[in-house]
Amino acid sequence: MSEVKIIECPRDAMQGIKDFIPTEKKVDYIQSLLRVGFDTIDFGSFVSPRAIPQMVDTAEVLEKLDLSVTKSKLLAIVANVRGANDASRFKEIDYLGYPFSISENFQMRNTHKTISESIEVLKEILEIADKSNKEVVAYLSMGFGNPYGDPWDVEIVGEWTEKLSSMGVRILSLSDTVGSSSPEVITYLFSNLIPEYPQIEFGAHLHTTPDSWHEKVDAAYKAGCKRFDGAIMGYGGCPMAKDKLTGNMPTERLLSYFNVNQVETNLQAMSFESAYNESIKIFNNYH
C-alpha cells in the first residue's frame, strides 16, 4: 500500500514546448507512464488551442491509450465550462483539474477571467463533474506567494481554502506555479490547513530550481502532505508565466526522497526507467 500519492504531469511537461509533438509520440510517452503505477497521470488539457497549441490533440491521445495496462487514474486540466463539458464526455477521465489562481493578475492572464468570474466557473465545473461521475481537483495557483503584485499572505490562502471547501472541493492542490515557495511557507500552510480541513485531500504542485527541490519536498512531507505532483526531469512549467518560468518538481527527485526516507510509493522501478527514457526522447527532440 502506497503511503503517498504521486501524480505525474506530462501535460505540464509538454504544454509549453513550441515544436508540435506528434500525437503518436505523446501516446508512447504517456503509455510508458501508465505502466509505472503512479496514482494519477495529469495527461492533457481541454483548453483553447490558441492558448496552448500543444494540447490540441488531447482527445485523440486519450482515444489511442491502452488503459488495460494500468490502475492509474487520468486527470485532464480544464480552464472553463466548455473544456469541462468536452472532458466530461470521456468516461476514462477520473478528474477534472481546475487551476484557480488567487492572483487576480495571473488568473486574468491564464484564463482571461477575474477571480470572481472564475469562482462562478468553478461552481459550474463542480456540477458538470458531479453529473459525469468525476471529481474536481482544484489548484490554488500562486498558493505560496505572488510575484505579480497582488496581495498575498497565508490568511488569504486560508480564506480561499474555506471558500473552495464550502463549495464542495475535496481535493485541493496548493500550486507553486512560478516556484516562489519557501520551506517556511510550505510548512506553515500544510501544517495548519491539513488538520483544519480533514475532509480535504491537500496536494503539493511544486515548481522548483535544482537547488531547492529537497527543502520543498521535505517541508511538505513533514507538514503532513501526502499528495505530490511531479514531472520527469522537471521538464515544463506554465507558459502563461513565461517571464517567471520555473520547471516542475522532478519526479525522480521525489522518488529518491521517498526512497531515502523509506516511504512506500509502490512504483515499478523498471517501468519508471523506461518511462524516463521515453520522456528524454521527447524532450531532446522537441523544444
Residue 98: count other Cβ atoms within 10 Å of its Cβ: 25
Beta carbon of residue 148, minimum distance to ligand KIV (angstroms, whole number): 13
Beta carbon of residue 205, minimum distance to ligand KIV (angstroms, whole number): 5
Q: Give the Cα separation of 172 and 138 in Å (integer).
A: 5
By beta-carbon proximity to ligand KIV, the closer residue of 205 and 227 is 205
By beta-carbon proximity to ligand KIV, the closer residue of 99 and 230 is 99
By beta-carbon proximity to ligand KIV, the closer residue of 117 and 271 is 117
- Spatial neighbors of 244 by CB under 8 A, at least 6 apart, are 147, 178, 179, 180
Nearest to 186 by CA among 168, 167, 213: 213
Beta carbon of residue 144, minimum distance to ligand KIV (angstroms, whole number): 11
177 interacts with ligand KIV by CB under 6 A: yes
By beta-carbon proximity to ligand KIV, the closer residue of 42 and 278 is 42
Among 80, 107, 175, 265, binds ligand KIV (CB under 6 A): 175
77 interacts with ligand KIV by CB under 6 A: yes
Beta carbon of residue 236, minimum distance to ligand KIV (angstroms, whole number): 8
Q: Give the Cα separation of 169 and 130 in Å (integer).
A: 11
Q: Give the Cα separation of 28 and 173 in Å (integer).
A: 27
Among 21, 55, 238, 249, binds ligand KIV (CB under 6 A): 238
99 interacts with ligand KIV by CB under 6 A: yes
- DSSP letters, 108-149, are HHHHS--HHHHHHHHHHHHHHHHHTT-EEEEEEETTT--TTS
By beta-carbon proximity to ligand KIV, the closer residue of 125 and 238 is 238
By beta-carbon proximity to ligand KIV, the closer residue of 193 and 238 is 238
Secondary structure (3-state) at 227 = strand
Among 6, 8, 12, 31, binds ligand KIV (CB under 6 A): 12
Nearest to 253 by CA among 205, 203, 206, 217: 217
Question: What x-and-dash track marks residues 135-154 binding ligand KIV by CB under 6 A?
Answer: ----x-x-------------
Beta carbon of residue 99, minimum distance to ligand KIV (angstroms, whole number): 4
Per the structure block, which three cell numbers stand in for 90? 470521456
Residues that bind ligand KIV (CB under 6 A): 12, 77, 97, 99, 139, 141, 175, 177, 205, 238
